């Protein structure tokens, strides 16, 4: 099970929706039955990818969609996220 911050603040994003903001990570909530759990289909993701040579934060964009397995977390400085139409919901936490 994933460890979320104790002082939890976050947004639940449901299938087919997008969000922009400033988040510390993402967690897939999963959906389906105990025998067939499906993860979250991330169709768009932007995140901070370190610093450029001038010391400014650079932003990276994932150009391919991927599935985040149910219960998995991805601790990135996320600025934008989109879910597929049949995706399980996610929590974007601060």
Task: Please indicate, yes or no, if residue 64 is contained in any of the structural domains.
Answer: yes
Supply the mean pLDDT for the chain.
86
| pLDDT (0 to 100) of residue 7 | 53
Task: Please indicate, yes or no, if residue 20 is contained in any of the structural domains.
Answer: yes
Is residue 51 scored above 70 in pLDDT?
yes
What's this model's pTM, rounded to 2 decimal places? 0.80
Is residue 61 scored above 60 in pLDDT?
yes
Task: Please indicate, yes or no, if residue 1 is contained in any of the structural domains.
Answer: no
Count of structural domains within the chain: 1
Task: Please indicate, yes or no, if residue 3 is contained in any of the structural domains.
Answer: no
Task: Please indicate, yes or no, if residue 49 is contained in any of the structural domains.
Answer: yes
Domain holding 77, by residue range, is: 10-93
**Angle (nearest 5°) at CA 91 between 85 and 94:** 135
Task: Please indicate, yes or no, if residue 59 is contained in any of the structural domains.
Answer: yes
**Among candidate residues 32, 23, 31, 30, the one with its CA nearest the CA of residue 4:** 23
Task: Please indicate, yes or no, if residue 4 is contained in any of the structural domains.
Answer: no
Per-residue pLDDT tens digits for 66-93: 999 999 999 989 999 999 999 999 999 9
């Amino acid at each position: 099970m994933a460890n979320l911050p104790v002082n939890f603040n976050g947004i639940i994003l449901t299938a087919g929706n997008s969000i922009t903001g400033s988040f510390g990570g993402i967690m897939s909530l999963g959906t389906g039955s105990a025998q067939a759990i499906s993860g979250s289909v991330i169709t768009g993701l932007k995140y901070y990818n370190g610093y450029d040579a001038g010391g400014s934060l650079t932003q990276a964009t994932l150009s391919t969609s991927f599935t985040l397995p149910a219960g998995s977390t991805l601790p990135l400085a996320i600025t934008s996220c989109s879910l597929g139409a049949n995706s399980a919901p996610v929590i974007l936490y601060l």
